Amino acid sequence: MPSVPNNVSTQNQQSGGGRKTQDDRRNQQSRQWILQQRKSLPVASVEKWIVEEVKKNDTLIVVGETGSGKTTQLPQFLYNAGFCHDGRVIGITQPRRVAAVTVAKRVAEECNVELGQKVGYSIRFEDVTSSSTRIKYMTDGLLLREALLDAYLSKYSIIIVDEAHERTVHTDVLLGLLKNVQLARSNSIVKQHNCGDVDNNTQNHNQTSTLRACQALKYTPLKLIIMSASLDARGFSEYFGGAKAVYVQGRQYPVEILYTYQPEKDYPDATLITIFQIHIEEGPGDILAFLTGQEEIESMDRLIHERVRQLPEGSNKLITAPIHSSLPSEQQMNVFKPAPSGFRKVILATNIAETSVTIPGIKYVIDPGWVKVRSYNPVTGMESLTISEISKAQALQRSGRAGREGPGKCFRLYTESAFSELKDSTVPEIKRCNLANVVLQLKALGIDDILGFDFMEKPSRTAIVKSLEQLLLQGALTDDCKLSDPVGHQMARLPLDPMYSKALIVASEFKCLEEMLIAVSMLSVESIFYSPRDKMEEANAAKKRFSSPEGDHIALVNVYRASAECLEKRNNAKMKEKAVEKALNKWCRENFINYRALRHARDVHSQIKGHVEHMGLVLSSCGDDMLQFRRCLTASFFLNVARRGPDRSYRTTASGQSVHIHPSSVLSEIKPKPDCIIFNELVYTTQNYVRNVTRIDPLWLPELAPQYYAAES
Ligand SMILES: Nc1ncnc2c1ncn2[C@@H]1O[C@H](COP(=O)(O)OP(=O)(O)OP(=O)(O)O)[C@@H](O)[C@H]1O
């Protein structure tokens, strides 16, 4: 083996060593900067006081300004105060995945540890924790799932429910559950004291098992912290039996709030104008603009690019970065990347970026004052998406995204008096969503009396009863409303809407689980087909290549299979991963398929596949026998059926609601129209629409869903 010349080795060592020293110096500087920043946060000056309050109170409500350091610092204070000394964990829940991930990254950096070691995060389908994790950020939904496996949440010494003001359905269920867990753990401590008495009488079988249970339940009390910048502290305090509320005063940097003099009639237009006004007139700093949804974001993105092209050389250095919930996680993370040197970045976001996150570089926030709100009518099963005014709490959170690294400005595109008329807080999601998932989760947690569950704000009785009925008809519950075995338990284990979970279980019986797995994955992401306004005809022609006269579910399976074929060819040709992705992207463009959505669906597919395999379901395919697949769709989605009446309009069988097939459906243009259809979504936009539709034979209904259609047979 040739020896390495001495001089080369020395040179390399020198240059490598020099680089290392430089890197070390830079790391040290950055650590010092972070340390300084941490010390200057408002919460830093009250560390001792907060720790004492946590020690004194089992439940504490912490209210502090946005950016004061609650989310990143409080868990570290508690860790340093010894709350993890016995190997227990401090859990911090966030309503959104993106917040859980980015805050965990930041805290790991602050602690100078590798992410996933002392500090980690866990979100659906992604667990970056290890046995040494002591500070764990996670979504509220994930902690609920953990409770399914460990009802006492025994590994946690403290649970912090962050951004509680958002009142997501998961937060509300979690609050009720945590109250129970707290009580159960306190009771189990009392039992532990009594264990000695049992010890003397171990002959009795019952007492022996109590002893075992006591020995297993070596619990410490569970501390709870409810936290937010815009919290109705009194309401939370009452709910937690008069829990103490503490207020952290002050914020790190000021945010100047600017209102319009007149109401804005066209808020997207006003947003566009404000973006360019800031770009031309204001100093350096990135912009965060809040819009209501994907379509609005994409159209704003196009308009910005058109305008940038008209700007003179030098002032055209403006780039955009979208973030909304339909984007795959790694693309959501793009907004956190710094803009290229000399460029200004405009982040176009939905309310996904409204709470908790710190996006480096943001100096200006544009808040048009609107948000898309989902609401559900339990009687008709109709979901509506309406653009509504935000609440004061949301306005406060939005402005709080500026002023995190230096002074900031927030442009509210409404008048000051309009602000004063906004509602204080948003209606809790639990009062406006389909509760089937909540009910299923609670049942799986052993809480059978849903109507009696101690919700902070009770959903309507009708909503609960309708969900119980739905789960009963789907076989998730027994006649006495207990979780059925195995179906109910299996459904609760799958991280999907109960209707989709049931479809996978049914599909394994119908021997078409492969097809249903594809359909459910494709239905779990944003729209797969892409039709740019200027290429409508081409896009429609492309869609026809995949479409089926039987409906959308088969069209989705066709797209997935064709894309898999495209990937397989490249993989067989041993192309590198990047080249394969590039080829898939090209294939998507040629076929007017939304590449991002397809990638996302492939991700969801592989993750759910893992779950169903783990559950022991048989992954079989019906091949080209789409009749079998349609029968399976009928057996799965029998609650969502619409029939065409003599007047040729469709009415749902569940509520008699008049509906139309959505124009995006492959069945919307088909003639003659099918007499009977199943659908996945019932939404009101401009009128009542059903989306994701498949033609079925009405005679299948009494055969495949006799529990619902028996009367017709
Ligand atoms: N990823 C990050 N990059 C840079 N600075 C960060 C990051 N995360 C947090 N910070 C800094 O730490 C400060 C405190 O953030 P933290 O999230 O703890 O505040 P908070 O009080 O929880 O705010 P909010 O109520 O808005 O969630 C921020 O204002 C910012 O200066």
> Which tens digits make up the pLDDT trace of 228-244?
988 788 899 999 999 99
Average of per-residue pLDDT across 547-568: 93
DSSP 608-647: HHHHHHHTT------TT-HHHHHHHHHHHSTTSEEEE-TT
Average of per-residue pLDDT across 349-374: 94
Is omega for the bond preceding 428 within 30 degrees of 0, making it cis? no
Asked whether this complex has an ipTM greater than 0.90, the answer is yes
CB 645 within 8 A of CB 664: no
| pLDDT tens sequence across 690-706 | 999 999 999 999 999 99
Q: What percent of the chain has pLDDT over 90?
A: 68
Mutate which of 72, 161, 246 to test ligand 1's pocket (most atoms within 8 Å of Cβ)? 72
Q: Which atom of ligand 1 is nearest to the CA of 74?
A: 18
Q: What structural domains and CATH numbers belong to the chain?
A: 28-188+218-248 (3.40.50.300), 255-430 (3.40.50.300), 494-625 (no CATH), 638-712 (no CATH)
Q: What percent of the chain has pLDDT over 70?
A: 92
| pLDDT tens sequence across 374-388 | 888 888 887 888 899
Q: Whose CA is nearest to atom 8 of ligand 1?
A: 358
| pLDDT tens sequence across 481-515 | 999 999 999 999 898 999 999 999 999 999 999 99
Could you tell me the pLDDT band of residue 624, with boundaries at 50, 70 and 90?
confident
Task: Mean pLDDT check: name the lowest of 156-160, 249-253, 432-436.
Answer: 249-253
Write the CB contacts of 232 (distance below 8 Å, at least 6 apart in sequence). Answer: 165, 424, 425
User: pLDDT value at position 192?
Assistant: 57
Average of per-residue pLDDT across 271-288: 96
User: pLDDT value at position 190?
Assistant: 58
Could you tell me the pLDDT band of residue 669, with boundaries at 50, 70 and 90?
confident
Q: Which residue has the higher pLDDT, 436 or 527?
A: 436
CA count, 13 A, side-chain hemisphere, 610:
8
Q: Which atom of ligand 1 is nearest to the CA of 228?
A: 25
Average of per-residue pLDDT across 95-111: 95
Could you tell me the pLDDT band of residue 198, with boundaries at 50, 70 and 90?
very low
Alpha-carbon distances of 270 from 218, 273, 291, 368, rounded to whole Å:
59, 5, 12, 8
For residue 205, pLDDT over 90 is answered with no
Q: Which atom of ligand 1 is nearest to the CA of 106?
A: 1
Task: Mean pLDDT check: name the lowest of 214-218, 261-265, 514-518, 532-536.
Answer: 214-218
Question: Model pTM?
Answer: 0.83
Average of per-residue pLDDT across 113-123: 96
User: pLDDT value at position 27?
Assistant: 78
Cα 254 to middle of ligand 1, angstroms: 14
For residue 74, pLDDT over 70 is answered with yes
Cα 353 to middle of ligand 1, angstroms: 13
Could you tell me the pLDDT band of residue 316, with boundaries at 50, 70 and 90?
confident
Average of per-residue pLDDT across 147-159: 93
Cα 144 to middle of ligand 1, angstroms: 25
CA–CA distance, 297 with 544 (Å, rounded to integer): 27
In whole numbers, what is the pLDDT of the chain averaged over residues? 88
User: pLDDT value at position 197?
Assistant: 44
Average of per-residue pLDDT across 142-149: 92
Report residues whose beta carbon is within 6 angstroms of any ligand 1 atom. 37, 41, 64, 66-73, 102, 106, 229, 252, 355-356, 358, 360, 400, 404-405
